Amino acid sequence: MTNQHGTIVAVIPARGGSKGVPAKNVRLVGGVPLIERAVASARLSRLIDTVVVSTDDAAIASVASAAGAVIVDRPASLAGDTSSSEAALLHALDSLETDPQVLVFIQATSPFIDSDDLDAAIARVRDGEADVVFSARLTHAFLWRDDEDGATGVNHDASYRLRRQETEPQYQETGAFYVMNVAGFRQARFRFFGLVGIALVPDLTAIEIDSEEDLEIARAIAPLVSTTTQEESWSPSALTL
């Protein structure tokens, strides 16, 4: 059923040519391919009307289609190492029969996306509270830059060490999802524009898989993760349209 506020579409770009983690999008976490986990998270959302996977890879397309996603064939010109996610998103939007109001950009490299987090972020963009909302984790890390003159503090004064509770909160993108007003995204052609908001997610679910080591960590913590995505998402009845 189409959302009364306008169509809300999730797009998951998933190309097949990963170099750091070969065949990354179909690798297993908790016994389930990453692309299937992403599709399941989106389909369990109460607000997302359509889930689209944009891919150039037959294996990814097969798994995503079986999980309930609409497949958009991603041309080779948008699937190279230097191709941007934004280009794939715009191509997917242009492939749809209607122009949605809200775009939910989901990355399959984040295996623990909670559909409740998606819905909360979507509602903020849908209702005009923000133009963009992205997932992030809170961090109090002291960052340094190392150059020829030695290491210098980036987000702190190295000559004085504040206690954790005295530091200003900062936020690190998790890469899991970005919710955008479609009209604004089409104009900006980039994921950040207008009024940007943060969707704070737990540290435990904030992992992003960019290496084999990340994949092993995700597999190790998968049994510890309890989210609305993980509770029922692999049950066929839970994913019935």
- pLDDT tens digits for 85-105? 999 999 999 999 889 999 999
- Check 15, 37, 124, 161 and give the catalytic one: 161
> Strand runs (DSSP E) across the chain, as ranges?
8-13, 28-29, 32-33, 50-55, 70-73, 102-106, 132-139, 144-147, 150-153, 170-181, 196-200
Look at residues 63, 112, 81 and name the one whose alpha carbon lies nearest to residue 15.
Answer: 81
CB 69 within 8 A of CB 55: no
Q: What is the pLDDT of residues 42-99, one digit of tens each?
A: 999 999 999 999 999 999 999 999 999 999 999 988 888 888 999 999 999 999 988 9
What DSSP string describes 2-26? --TT--EEEEEE--S--SSSTTGGG
How distant, in Å, are the alpha carbons of 3, 74, 81 from that of 135? Answer: 23, 25, 24
CB 207 within 8 A of CB 113: no
Domains in the chain, CATH or no CATH each: 8-239 (3.90.550.10)
For the residues 223-232, what does the mean pLDDT come to? 62
> Which residues on adjacent β-strands are paired with residue 33?
28
Specify the pLDDT at position 226: 62
How distant, in Å, are the alpha carbons of 12, 36, 123, 178, 194 from that of 131? Answer: 19, 28, 11, 10, 6
How distant, in Å, are the alpha carbons of 24, 154, 175, 194 from that of 198? Answer: 27, 22, 12, 13
Look at residues 208, 14, 213 and name the one whose alpha carbon lies nearest to residue 111.
Answer: 208
Q: What is the pLDDT of residues 94-148, one digit of tens each?
A: 999 889 999 999 999 999 999 999 999 999 999 999 999 999 999 988 899 999 9
Indicate if 161 belongs to the active site.
Answer: yes
Q: Which residues contact 163 (CB under 8 A, 6 or more apart)?
A: none
- pTM of the prediction? 0.90
Q: How far apart are CA 179 and CA 196, in angstroms?
A: 10
